[in-house]
Amino acid sequence: MRVLLTTWGSRGDVEPLAGLAVGLRELGAQALVCAPADEEFAALLARAGVPMVPLGPTVHSVVAGPKPPTAKDAFRLAPELVAARFETLTAAAEGCDALLATGLMPAGARDVAEKLGIPYVLACFHTLGLPSRRFPPGARPGKQSPREETDLRVLWEQDAQRVNALYGEALNRHRAAIGLPPVDNVRDHVLTGRPWLAADATLCPSRGMTELDVVQTGAWILPDDRPLPDDLEAFLDAGAPPVYVGFGSMAAYAPKDIARVAIEASRAQGRRVVLARGWAGLAPIDDADDCLVVGDVNQQALFRRVAAVVHHGGAGTTTTAARAGAPQVVVPQIADQPYWAGRVADLGIGSAHDGPTPTSGSLSAALASALTPETRARARTVAGTIRTDGRTVAAKLLLDAAGRDRRSVTV
């Protein structure tokens, strides 16, 4: 059996698909991933032994400029991605038995599956984009809701209108070209009534969060058995556990001077620092030997050996740190990151920094809270509740869906 998995987004959108692809392979199925052709993502998928087909522009080319992308950029990118999905996925999905999509509003993926007559699944890594009676929609480019509007039903309707403005014309034009009727609500069309949630239930409970029939599988964790680099091993062995600081794919979004702020905050707590370079290009602030810069390393192994993890609050980093039992300090910047910061604080496994731009003092205070014995003990307790079988659960569900009537276009 052969399955097509697709996404467009940061590493946090790509790595779970690599994990799911491994889960499918473990069950004897083949998986192909369509994803942006950033070198980092291509290397990750190659390491997992998963074939890749490039999709759309690289993410780095969109988000790694000196300033964050604008609304104008979003309205230019949206139809470009729709066109890329119709072209790339149509070819890649030939001979496939199911198509699963995730990442930035994958408009076009369901439509390709519909044309080919294969099941389609929409997966997400949190519940914040799912219409809800409990919380308002997140920020999205386009005409904004009036500040005085508080009716959640109205706010979610206006969110759907913003999605239509971004994707509607391009989606329906491409649907018409392959003989499919138009859709009038792109968001709900993409989401379906039964989206999958690839997140751990302890970290991201789904009950009551949306009226959709969510299928929660657990996180899709990619196994990582890479040894840590020799210099990192030597650094870890040379003293007490250091603080890890990393902001992943946050290039233009990373707080100004975050390397300096984080190093000074860690030193104030008597801790050395492992600084992840990431897309923000974090670098040491002096020649002191208490700071080591690393590139792409095995976080699953590293986080078990650090005193705390300071990060931006991506779903993947939050889950990896939670599994490792490492206390966390989350400095959220955009999208779902404030949610993960709140969950870390609510669970007592770390601290949520108040605001996206820390000072040495404010980050030192958050770090002091995360470094307490009580927080460390709580983090270890919660680590024992994190399920590790999410990729297998999802792989079995996907193969079951693929084995049904191929004319069923959603599951």
With contact defined as beta carbons under 8 Å apart, do 121 and 112 qualify? no
* Lookup: tokens for 301: 């192994």
Query: What angle in degrees, to the nearest 10, is found between the helix axes of 337-347 and 315-324?
Result: 20
* Lookup: tokens for 308: 């705390």
Residue 254 confidence (pLDDT): 83
Residue 322 confidence (pLDDT): 98
Distances (CA, A) of 286 to 259, 281, 283, 292, 307: 11, 15, 9, 11, 22
Domain that holds residue 24: 2-221+389-402
Return the minimum-mean-pLDDT range out of 56-70, 96-110, 390-404.
Answer: 56-70
Residue 251 confidence (pLDDT): 74
Asked whether residue 325 is assigned to any structural domain, the reply reads yes
99 bridge partner residues: 4, 120
Same domain, 52 and 82: yes
pLDDT digits 0-9 by tens, 192-242? 999 999 999 999 999 999 999 999 999 999 999 999 999 999 999 999 999
Question: Strand 328-330 relative to strand 350-352: parallel, antiparallel, unpaired?
Answer: parallel
Same domain, 124 and 252: no
Strand order in the sheet with 291-294: 291-294, 273-276, 243-246, 308-311, 328-330, 350-352
pLDDT band at 362 (very low <50, low <70, confident <90, very high): very high
Q: Is 104 left (phi over 0), alpha (psi -120 to 50) or beta?
A: beta
Asked whether residue 307 is assigned to any structural domain, the reply reads yes
CATH (domain of 27): 3.40.50.2000
Asked whether residue 407 is assigned to any structural domain, the reply reads no
4 bridge partner residues: 32, 99
CA atoms of 396 and 7, how far apart (whole Å): 20
Residue 16 confidence (pLDDT): 98
What is the total count of domains within the chain? 2
pLDDT band at 409 (very low <50, low <70, confident <90, very high): very low
Same domain, 250 and 286: yes
Question: What is the signed CA dihedral for 175, 197, 9, 355, rounded to 10 degrees?
Answer: 130
Asked whether residue 410 is assigned to any structural domain, the reply reads no
Residue 176 confidence (pLDDT): 98
pTM: 0.95
pLDDT band at 33 (very low <50, low <70, confident <90, very high): very high
Residues 45-59: what's their mean pLDDT? 97
Residue 405 confidence (pLDDT): 52
Same domain, 58 and 158: yes
Asked whether residue 409 is assigned to any structural domain, the reply reads no
Residues 313-331: what's their mean pLDDT? 97
Same domain, 17 and 162: yes
* Lookup: tokens for 53: 């087909």
pLDDT band at 408 (very low <50, low <70, confident <90, very high): very low
| Residue 1 DSSP one-character state | -
Residue 250 confidence (pLDDT): 78
- The H or E element that residue 158 is part of is helix 152-163
pLDDT digits 0-9 by tens, 260-289? 999 999 999 999 999 999 998 999 999 999
Q: Name the percent of the chain lying above pLDDT 90.
A: 94
pLDDT digits 0-9 by tens, 53-64? 999 999 999 988
Residue 173 confidence (pLDDT): 98
Same domain, 178 and 318: no
Report the mean per-residue pLDDT for the chain: 96
With contact defined as beta carbons under 8 Å apart, do 175 and 182 qualify? yes
Residue 297 confidence (pLDDT): 98
Residue 410 confidence (pLDDT): 53
CA atoms of 92 and 298, how far apart (whole Å): 30
Same domain, 149 and 189: yes
Same domain, 65 and 181: yes
Same domain, 80 and 109: yes
Same domain, 17 and 163: yes
Residues 348-377: what's their mean pLDDT? 97
Q: Is the pLDDT of residue 407 over 60?
A: no
Same domain, 273 and 247: yes
Same domain, 202 and 306: no
